[in-house]
Amino acid sequence: MPNLVVDIGNTRTKVAVFEQNKIVMSFPTNELTVNDITSIKNEYPEIESAIFSTVRSNADVLHPMLKANFKKVVELNQNTQLPIEICYETTSTLGKDRIAAAVGANYFYPNCDLLVIDAGTAITYDFVNYNNQYTGGFITPGLNMRFKALHQFTDKLPLLKASAPQNHQGRNTTESIIGGIQMGLEGEIGRIITHFQSKSDEMLIILTGGDTKYFEKLLKNYNFVSLEIILPGLNTILEFIKTKKVKKTIADNGI
């Protein structure tokens, strides 16, 4: 049976329909509406299960909207059953996007040491070990956030945008800002990768997020894979929960 998967991030919402663990339809939107749900139901009337993850405060609206259209609706939170072990001290504050990314990375590369770099509004660095355990990571400002911060918290620095990585010499204010952010980010990435490599004999880097294309250039000297992992991660969680329910039902019936 196909599943509906909804990922609501800081800047955009991604919606997908999965069938046999493959995306058969997807689209981005600023906000998921009742009309969107109706269109999906008309095109895929066999969908009975949905999962959603949100980093915004809109679960109270979204959950009833999905519940009115699907038999089973899962909201990803700290109480959700997961196919990996979460070894994190404050699970109640762990970002839903970080959980979904960790599960998605582990789905594609189980029993491997993985560093997941999600380059979005914020940049998250998360580690999943070969025992399929999420052990934590780091959070830093995203690429565009760094440009906005320099402009917002100073009186005279202009608001600039990222350009293709290049060797800026800092001969003017534009070069100084772009070069400083670029080289600072390169240094950050290298230092964090080195930190996790010291804990792993073999580690694969997985890159995802809205700024993936920019980060691919910064990671050219490392062994990495670019993947969309949050949507597959959410679908993997939903399938895991459905399987657990089936097994429990079979056991309860003595079969």
Which residues are part of the catalytic machinery?
97
Q: Which of 130, 109, 99, 96 lies closest to 225, judged by CA?
A: 109
DSSP codes joined into one string, 73-111: EEE-STTS--SSEE--S-GGGS-HHHHHHHHHHHHHSTT
What is the SS3 assignment for 139? strand
Q: Which of 12, 217, 25 lies closest to 97, judged by CA?
A: 12
Q: Hey, how many other C-beta atoms are within 10 angstroms of the C-beta on 230?
A: 29
Strands (E), 106-177: 113-119, 122-128, 133-141
Task: Give the Cα separation of 81 and 237 in Å (integer).
Answer: 7
